Structure 1
């Protein structure tokens, strides 16, 4: 399979959500539900003051994460996905949803949790380097960076494994690894900001 050379843009996601509603089955897939449970279980803190979820899609994981956060900023480039997320999270006052395409439109930090779930393999090397620079500034010292990525074959710019390895190398001594698990079809990595 030939990989894309450039980052996948927000319009690609918007078209998917307009045409399919829930293209990856976040609302209905037992695989996704099990992955969400494992994602939440991996968080080392019971509560986070300020959290950022990048690529919140239709807000299924956002709604599950929100009770653990005083303030949760969830961003996505797709207006259609965000409309679904707003409906799902309407009774969660700690959740703020914004249309943003990272790493070009990064929100101001700092955050004590940043969740990158199923997103970094959509970025090419240049965007991954920009995201690494942003993470160095946006994640508080002692803050958690949680990555969850599918490990199957795609035409995305990077595989899940390659993207995580590259981001880890780019961050260097800015983070320490706290956990690295492999599951059926995905990996989960937890790093802490030094």
Structure 2
């Protein structure tokens, strides 16, 4: 399988959403449903004051994460997906959506939770390192970072394992691993901000 060498551009996602509003079956897949439950169960706290979700897509996980957050900022680089996410969460006034291509674009504010679910492997290695620096700049002391990634082969710049390990290497001076889980299809890593950064 030939892989993309560089971070995937917005056009990659725009093409997918142009043909199908749910190209990854977030609304209907048993795999996605079980993974969402595992992701929410893995969160170290029952509630967060300010959460950031990178790569919210059509907002299925956003809607559930909003129940655990006083304020939630959800990013995606596909305008059509964000429109669907906004519609899904239209009654949730504490959720804010932003069109952004990370790591170059990043929201203002600080967060006690940053969720990176099925998104880091769309970046090349250099952008994953930049993403770790972005997270460092806005994660509150003691805050949590949760990564969830499919571990099968892809045509993306990195596999789920490569993306997660690259991110963790770029963040090892301020994050420590609290919990790791691996299923037959995905890995879930919970990282916590060190109180004293190295």
Q: Which has the higher strand share?
A: 1
Structure 1's unaligned 5+ residue stretches are: none
Query: 1:81 matched to which residue of 2?
Result: 81
Secondary structure of the structure 2 residue equivalent to 1:61: helix
Aligned partner of 1:64 in structure 2 is: 64
Deviations for 1:89-148, whole angstroms, at most 9, x for unmatched residues?
Answer: 001111101111110101123100000000000001111111111111111110000000
Q: Write the distance in 2 (CA, Å) between the matches of 1:85 and 1:185.
A: 25
RMSD of Structure 2 on Structure 1 (CA)? 0.7
3-state SS in 2 of match to 1:12:
helix
- The separation in 2 between residues aligned to 1:172 and 1:51, in whole angstroms, is 21
Aligned to 1:154: 154
* Residue number in structure 1 paired with 2:115: 115
Q: Which residue of 1 aligns with 2:15?
A: 15
**1:186 counterpart = 2:198:** no
C-alpha contact (below 8 Å) 1:76/1:82 kept by paired residues: yes
| Counterpart for residue 174 of structure 2 | 174
Which residue number corresponds to residue 138 of structure 1? 138
How far apart are residue 30 of structure 1 and its match?
0.9
Q: TM-score, normalised by structure 1?
A: 0.98
Query: What is the Cα deviation at residue 23 of structure 1?
Result: 0.4
Which structure is higher in helix share?
1
CA contact (8 A) 1:109 1:139 kept: no
The answer for unaligned runs of 5 or more in structure 2 is none
Q: State the shift of 1:2 in Å.
A: 2.1
Equivalents in 2 of 1:172, 1:61: separation in Å?
27
Match of 1:34, SS state, is: helix
Q: Which runs of 4+ in 1 moved over 4 A?
A: none
CA distance in 1, matches of 2:12, 2:147: 22
Q: Deviations over 1:23-79 (max 9, x none)?
A: 010001111001000000000111100000000000000001101000000010011
